[in-house]
Amino acid sequence: MARTTKKKLHPEYQTFLDEECSHVSESTLTTYTARLRPLPPPNKLTISWFKKRMKEISPHTASQERLVIKMFKKWNGDNTDEWKELKLPPKKESVTVKDLYTREELKSIFAACFETRDRAMFQVLYESAARRGELLNMKFEDIKFEDHGTAEVILTGKTGTRAIWIKDSVPALKAWMNVHPVRKGPLWIALDFPVRALTASGLTARVIEILKRANLGRKLKKKIHMFRHTRGTEVYILGLRGQSLNVFMGWSKGSNMEAVYVHLANAETKDEVRSKVLGIATTKKKYQHKLVSGNCPRCGVGVAENDIVCAKCSFDLTEDGRRKARAKKKREEYRIRAMEDMIRFLAGKMGLDTSDMFPDPPPEHTPIDEEMEAIKKQYSQKKKDYLPPRE
């Protein structure tokens, strides 16, 4: 099958990019190039052509193309007034509640991250509600770990610099920072050599690969930005409002973006409206966080919900591992009980007082006794099965 070749960029457009856009980031330059490529030669780039073009492309693409055209026209010395007055088609509500990632889907996504970097990157992407550019701009020095298992993260991007705090993604982030090849500079780097910052296209490719591996079973919109939409809706439901929400999400003062999340959180706030406005008694369920962290049962270090092994002590965090740990603890408790009973028995035979050694009286019956009785029966049955019958 023949590979489709991209349309060659017109020389004047290339000159415009070289002279006017040399200061922009790599991802922005890639976007400008992509928007200039389908345009006709400059002498045929007219309002009438663009109006026909708008019927064939999405409102988002039309908005980007108009921006680049206005920049080119200004650089070329052409009049841009008619382009300023051009009205774009209204953007439709592109995100609905059904588009947001569910808790189970997020668990599947995090479980599909086999690399230490990917586990940390996806969890931080979600919990911080960072834009793609803000995530890629993160530096090793932008992370400051605090008490109570939290971390302050400095995000720099489209609306400037802001500080946010994360907690549930901290265990995965620490695990990545401990194995980071250079431990300075860009936090998110490519996993090959030479060491270099992860690019926008590299992040997009990685997200697509992980989502495919997670096999969510539905068509996804705005794959990267949907992490931000999902987290924004969650913190709104949890009570973040007004200027606090603006700061957390990185919106400018007076932004009306909060209205988007009022719409997305509508289903979750239904009970609150029924209770406070309509006076209808409701059974309010406790909101279940979509990303949850905990502590290792053995060493107490923070671990993420989807971790299968503790990064510090290598404890098995799976349900099977936890079950074995509980069983081991019960066996140890039984051994201690058995030793205490033996000491009491021998001391009693010798007429010694053990009240100073064991101030608490021996328990008459505990769950351990029931478990040990079951074990004795099990081994007794095995003994009968293996021993030949007596003649």
pLDDT digits (tens, 9 = 90+) for 73-126: 889 888 777 777 777 766 665 688 888 999 999 999 999 999 999 999 999 999
More confident residue, 319 or 144: 144
391 part of a folded domain = no
Domain that holds residue 121: 97-276
Last residue of a domain, one of 85, 109, 127: 85
Number of domains, the chain: 3
198 part of a folded domain = yes
Residue 85: its H or E element: helix 81-85
* Distance (Å, whole) CA 30 – CA 12: 17
Q: Is the pLDDT of residue 367 over 60?
A: no
User: 261 and 351: one domain?
Assistant: no
User: 81 and 103: one domain?
Assistant: no
197 part of a folded domain = yes
Q: What is the pTM of this model?
A: 0.63
For CA atoms 177, 183, 186, 189, the dihedral sign is negative
288 part of a folded domain = no
User: 356 and 221: one domain?
Assistant: no
Highest mean pLDDT: which of 8-12, 273-277, 383-387? 8-12
Average pLDDT, the chain: 81
User: 140 and 62: one domain?
Assistant: no
Cβ atoms of 113 and 125 within 8 Å: the answer is no
Mean pLDDT value across residues 171-179: 92
